[in-house]
Copies of this chain bind each other. A is one copy, B any other.
Amino acid sequence: MDITQELVRYVLDAAPADIPARAQHDAKRSLINFLGCAIGGAQHETVDKALAATRPFSGPGQATILGRSEKLDIMSAALINGTSSAVLDFDATQAKKTNIHPSGPAAPVCLALAELNPVRGLDFLTAFILGVEIECRIANTVFGERNPGWHVTSVCGGFGAAAAAGRLLDLDEQQLIWAFGIAANLAGGIRENYGTMVKSFAPGTAARNGLQAALMAQQGFVSDDHALEGSKGFAVAMTGIDDLQGLTENLGKDFEISYNTYKAFACGIVTHASVDGCIRLRNEHHLEPSQIGSVSLKVSPNTLLLTGKEEPKTGLEGKFSVYHTAAIALIDGTAGEAQFTDSRVHDPNVIALRKNVHAEAVESIGKYEAYVSIQLKNGSVLNEHVTHALGSLDNPMSDDDIAGKYRELVNGVISQQQSEKIIDLCWSAESLDDAGEIARAAVKK
Contact = CB atoms under 8 A, between A and B. Distances in A.
A230 B151 CA distance: 14
**A interface bracket (residues with beta carbon within 8 Å of B):** 35 or more
Interface string A205-234: 100000010011011111110110011111
A170 B53 CA distance: 15
A49 B193 contact: no
B197 A223 contact: yes
A149 B233 contact: yes
A228 B189 CA distance: 11
A166 to B, nearest CB: 13
B148 A221 contact: no
B205 A181 contact: no
Interface stretch (A12-20, A32-40, A54-62, A332-340): A54-62
A198 B222 contact: yes
A104 to B, nearest CB: 14
A75 B49 contact: no
Contact of A237 (B59, B149, B216): B149
Contacts of A443: none
B184 A185 contact: no
Interface string A146-160: 001111001100000
A185 B198 contact: yes
29 contacts: A46-B221, A49-B219, A49-B221, A53-B215, A53-B216, A53-B221, A57-B62, A57-B73, A57-B75, A57-B76, A58-B59, A59-B73, A149-B237, A155-B188, A181-B193, A181-B196, A181-B198, A184-B190, A185-B188, A185-B193, A185-B205, A188-B188, A190-B227, A194-B232, A197-B221, A198-B223, A198-B224, A198-B227, A201-B216
